[in-house]
Structure 1
Amino acid sequence: MIQNIETSPKAYIPDKAKSRTSIVFPVHGTVKGSVDNVAKEEAFLCERLMHESSMKSNDFIPTKWTSHNNAVPSVIQGMKRPVCGLVALCMAGHMLHKHDPNARIYENDEKILDLARSLGFSKQGEMFSANQYAELAERVLKCESRVISNTLANTWKEIFRHLFMGYPVLVPYDTDRNYEPCLRKGHKAHWAILTGFVIGQKKKHWKPGNNSPIIKLTEEHELDNIFNELSSQNTDLSLFYVYAKQGKSAKQQLWSFKSLSNSNANLAEVSPDRDHSQYEIPREGIEITLRSKIVLLLPKRTDESSYKLG
């Protein structure tokens, strides 16, 4: 079934959102009420995407936009706490719990940090190894994990299908001041959880229907059709976006997939400005343990034989 996402300039007004909702912001931990705001934030992000894409367009070929997202509560890490990966696991637990009631949910990072320290993976909450991060996720969330050692650009079908199934994708990247992906060689390494995606397709003979040019994806065969169409043409990664959350902001974000892929692939070293003795840094360096790596989490009882790759 195809549904349209209602997008309107008045659908979501960030500055006024707090006064209309029961959101409670802790110093760190789960932001109560944040999951209820996701639909409004999606509408705002889609409206902005439509506006920006129309301003950048230099041709008259319309773009068909398809969106899918999984609403999860936000978890704040605290601005001086390097526990971005741990709070991302807290959010991942909420996604997994929808599929497996045995998957654990944590309101904050404290117990996860204790285990990470006891395993020798971390000192303050930093996680500089994707393999160790995946092992930690399995232990604390009671789930299964897969570490993909390839760029996002080369694995986008697998990532998007994983997200469509409602499972979390965890990505290390360099964060800019606005928390979006940037290129700083790993000096601002950060973890984010991906919760959904938006796919744009140039369609010469397509006209937006009803009141909205963005379509909500609800059936797997619709995703298969998109994949089939994209496989027959040169895939334009600049038309792909991902919904993301990270521990320094309670807001749902929408990032350029291409920018995130480039950021993930540029992780080369821990910032020389940091005191390396205060962190657990793998001997081989993050160029080996983080660069171009992605962590996929699945419910413990998932039948691997039924897991359909892109």
Structure 2
Amino acid sequence: MIPVPPPINAAQVQPPSRPVKRTSVTGVDNRLPYLLTAINNSPDTHFIVCLHDSEPVMQDGPMCGLVAISMACSLLHGKVLESASPNELLLKAQQQGYSKQGEMFSAEQLLSLSEEQLQCSGVLLTFDNIKSIISSTITGSSLLFPYDADKDHSPCQLNGHKAHWAVTVGCVMLLSKKDIDYFIPFCDNKGEYYLLDRTKIIPQLVTRYTESVTEANTWLLCRHGKSRHLGMWSLSNIRQSNANLKEPGPSRIVDDCIIPAGGLVEGLCGKAVLLQKKYTTEMK
């Protein structure tokens, strides 16, 4: 196992926000060095970045879960399969009795809707298994997770009052200079970071990467329906926010929502949805 350096705790730093003019992957690449530099400028550590092509889909109303499904469709299938629109997904969710206005308070129901509409398979996960989450992210699966959104949409802990859905589009790991050598042949050197070349991803690489992952040195790159900006959030902050989803906010009119038996504790708390192409076997 590769030794993991302890120079920085991802849970204690949050990259500041900055507007992004473009929403394509080129625009994301322009923003990413800024996010990375904001949390590390040590010459003795380097970032290994996995980033999948993605574009934001903005939500209209309380449709964050449906928007996350729509973005997951593009991540899984690219242009091979036409992306499911949030409005189409809303109609299906209403027909299934999962939602009234677009709200999705059940991870299990969101998984069921995703499998039906995206021609994919999926499972429910918890953030206890971070190595499985990271290996799946690297190999092209989509992780959709609920969390409490702060004013800047980053994860916080508000007891579920600001429950929101996001989807992963990549991950970032910080390693010491001596631990980076193994990964360099599989990466493009971007100066501020090393970007994994998706055409060179093999099981041995995924194993080596996940062996180095801890909550203290790893971030997820995420998108959600309330911002065109790429989010970069620590695994620790995401896990803690995901685990505190206990009740709807007091401003929410319960009769306008479908809340599963057991409330948010049973529907969302501690849960995430992993989606894969049906013919894809996750690399371990």
Task: Pick the TM interval, shorter chain.
Answer: 0.7 to 0.9
Q: Does 1:109 align with 2:86?
A: yes
* Corresponding residue to 2:205 among 216, 222, 236: 222
Deviations 1:3-34 (A, max 9, x none): xxxxxxxxxx965x54xx6xxxxxxxxxxxx3
The change in CA–CA distance for 1:246 and 1:279 in structure 2 (over 3 A counts) is same
Q: Does 1:189 align with 2:163?
A: yes
Q: Does 1:65 align with 2:65?
A: no
Q: Is the 8 A contact 2:71 2:167 kept in 1?
A: yes
Q: Is the 8 A contact 2:135 2:207 kept in 1?
A: no
Structure label with greater radius of gyration: 1
Q: Is the 8 A contact 1:237 1:258 kept in 2?
A: yes
RMSD: 2.6
TM-score by length of 2: 0.82
CA shift, 1:142, in A, is: 1.8
Q: Which residue of 1 aligns with 2:5?
A: none
Q: Which residue of 2 aligns with 1:5?
A: none
* Corresponding residue to 2:33 among 46, 68, 72: 46
**Residue identity opposite 1:46 in structure 2:** P
CA shift, 1:155, in A, is: 1.6
CA shift, 1:205, in A, is: 7.3
* Aligned counterparts of 1:105 and 1:159: Cα–Cα separation in 2: 23
CA shift, 1:64, in A, is: 2.7
* Aligned counterparts of 1:205 and 1:284: Cα–Cα separation in 2: 46
CA shift, 1:104, in A, is: 4.6
SS for the counterpart of 2:169 is strand
Q: Is the 8 A contact 1:42 1:252 kept in 2?
A: no
Point out the more displaced range, 181-190 or 41-50. 41-50
Q: Is the 8 A contact 1:267 1:287 kept in 2?
A: yes
* Aligned counterparts of 1:122 and 1:45: Cα–Cα separation in 2: 35
* Aligned counterparts of 1:86 and 1:51: Cα–Cα separation in 2: 31
**Residue identity opposite 1:85 in structure 2:** G
* Aligned counterparts of 1:50 and 1:62: Cα–Cα separation in 2: 13
* Aligned counterparts of 2:96 and 2:69: Cα–Cα separation in 1: 16
* Aligned counterparts of 2:68 and 2:103: Cα–Cα separation in 1: 12
* Aligned counterparts of 1:40 and 1:202: Cα–Cα separation in 2: 28
* Aligned counterparts of 2:35 and 2:279: Cα–Cα separation in 1: 39
Q: Which residue of 1 aligns with 2:258?
A: 280
Q: Which residue of 1 aligns with 2:217?
A: 239
CA shift, 1:212, in A, is: 2.1
* Corresponding residue to 1:180 among 142, 154, 169: 154
CA shift, 1:118, in A, is: 0.8
Query: Which of structures 1 and 2 has the larger relative contact order (alpha carbons within 8 angstroms, sep 6+)?
Result: 2
* Aligned counterparts of 2:214 and 2:76: Cα–Cα separation in 1: 31
SS for the counterpart of 1:238 is coil
The change in CA–CA distance for 1:205 and 1:70 in structure 2 (over 3 A counts) is closer
Q: Is the 8 A contact 2:35 2:232 kept in 1?
A: no
Unaligned runs of at least 5 residues, structure 2: 1-16
CA shift, 1:249, in A, is: 1.0
Q: Does 1:269 align with 2:252?
A: no
SS for the counterpart of 1:134 is helix
Q: Which residue of 2 aligns with 1:87?
A: 67
* Aligned counterparts of 1:297 and 1:205: Cα–Cα separation in 2: 31
**Residue identity opposite 2:160 in structure 1:** G
* Aligned counterparts of 2:275 and 2:124: Cα–Cα separation in 1: 9
* Aligned counterparts of 1:192 and 1:277: Cα–Cα separation in 2: 25
CA shift, 1:112, in A, is: 0.7
The change in CA–CA distance for 1:283 and 1:213 in structure 2 (over 3 A counts) is same
Q: Is the 8 A contact 1:62 1:206 kept in 2?
A: no
TM-score by length of 1: 0.76
**Residue identity opposite 2:283 in structure 1:** K
* Aligned counterparts of 2:258 and 2:72: Cα–Cα separation in 1: 23
Q: Is the 8 A contact 1:217 1:223 kept in 2?
A: no
CA shift, 1:201, in A, is: 2.2
Q: Does 1:308 align with 2:246?
A: no
* Aligned counterparts of 1:285 and 1:68: Cα–Cα separation in 2: 35
